[in-house]
Amino acid sequence: MLFDGKGGARDLSAEEVDGWAESDGLLWLDIDQNNERGRDWLVRRSELGENITSILLTAETRPRSLAESDSLVVILRGINMNPGAVPDDMVSVRMSLQKGRIITSWRRNVASINDIGVALAAGKGPKTTGEFLVSLTTFLSLRIESAIENIEEQIEALGDEMAEGNVEDIRLTLGVARRQSAAIRRYLSPQREALDRIARDNIGILLDSEAFDLREEANHLTRHIEDLDLAREHALVTQEELMNRIAHEQNQRMYVLSVVAAIFLPLTFVTGVLGMNVAGLPGTVNPNGFLYSALSMGLCLVGLVGYFRWRKWL
């Protein structure tokens, strides 16, 4: 796309891209790394140099930024909004920023890149390279904020579910929330440092106002990191409460079983003695022997239950 400097842009054909000159205006090339033609153009015709090209084509990388001659190379991460994806499987966008040309590359679709394209088509997009970077970080930050809010809401909702006693579902949801928060935070810290470095070591691509906006976006990332840390602490407290509840329920069951065993232990002893197949047992020739045995065991049972209740063990 060729920017018109007023917030709009128009699509260019391959021939127009090849014939582009910096005097024509700001050029944005968005390259899908899964497209062989796009990779070939980036390697053979971008004139970026081997170092920058290798960075733009790297499969997996962490957020970072570096200045290379007259270019600013930036790698950022965003929430994966593709169908069937999980938010913590974050997508990456790689950029080479120059005053007259912007090159972005990605392996998986980045929704924030599409947002910029929509804004340009509506005449409300960025006008300069610096504004492009600020707009992209803003769109990425908004989706990160939304994902963090969802994680916080999930963790807060676990308190209500815990009151209903649905322990298994709580454990699964809590595990997913903790994994997502840890995965997202893994990339936010280096992304904040990358934005700070760009704003601090401005090589002339960004205006002062754009560098200020970029610092504000870095501050927003700091707040997101703090929110994630708070959510992780909340999840840890919830998990401890959950484990305490599980342990308490297990102890209650074991306590009931122990009481039942203690009550029936004397009765088991009596039935074991009376069940011995030896001569001389009392009541073997008495027709009322079974009745007397049952009454004695019943009295023993009542006495044991009364004793346990007196000791407040029941």
pLDDT in tens, the chain (314 residues): 999 989 999 999 888 888 888 888 999 999 998 888 888 888 888 888 888 888 888 877 889 888 876 788 999 998 888 777 776 778 899 999 988 899 999 988 899 999 999 999 999 999 999 999 999 999 999 999 988 888 888 888 876 777 666 666 677 778 788 888 888 888 888 999 998 888 887 677 888 888 899 889 999 999 999 998 888 888 888 777 778 877 877 888 888 888 888 888 888 888 887 777 777 777 777 777 778 788 888 888 888 888 888 887 77
Counted domains in the chain = 2
In-domain check, residue 39: yes
Alpha helices (runs of H) in the chain, residue ranges in sequence order? 14-18, 36-44, 50-56, 111-121, 129-164, 167-200, 208-274, 289-310
Residues 212 and 306 in one domain: no
Position 116 scores a pLDDT of 93
Residues 102 and 202 in one domain: yes
Position 167 scores a pLDDT of 66
CATH assignment at residue 225: 3.30.460.20
Q: CA 269, CA 65: separation in Å to the nearest integer?
A: 79
Residues 198 and 285 in one domain: no
Position 151 scores a pLDDT of 85
Position 119 scores a pLDDT of 93
Residues 313 and 213 in one domain: no
Q: Would you say 77 and 92 are in contact if contact means Cβ atoms under 8 Å apart? A: yes
Residues 76 and 157 in one domain: yes
- Identify the domain containing residue 313 by its residue range: 275-314
Residues 166 and 119 in one domain: yes
In-domain check, residue 192: yes
Q: Would you say 171 and 152 are in contact if contact means Cβ atoms under 8 Å apart? A: no
Residues 98 and 239 in one domain: yes
Q: What are the residues whose beta carbons fall under 8 Å from the beta carbon of 220, sequence distance 6 or more?
A: 141, 145
Residues 39 and 154 in one domain: yes
Residues 109 and 11 in one domain: yes
Neighbours of 13 (CB within 10 A): 8
Q: Would you say 90 and 112 are in contact if contact means Cβ atoms under 8 Å apart? A: no
Q: Give first-to-last CA distance, the chain, whole Å.
A: 79
Of the candidates 133, 113, 138, which has an alpha carbon nearest to the alpha carbon of residue 26?
A: 133
Give the position of tokens 């079983």: 257
Give the position of tokens 């504004």: 131
Q: CA 171, CA 155: separation in Å to the nearest integer?
A: 11
Q: What are the residues whose beta carbons fall under 8 Å from the beta carbon of 173, sequence distance 6 or more?
A: 154, 158, 161
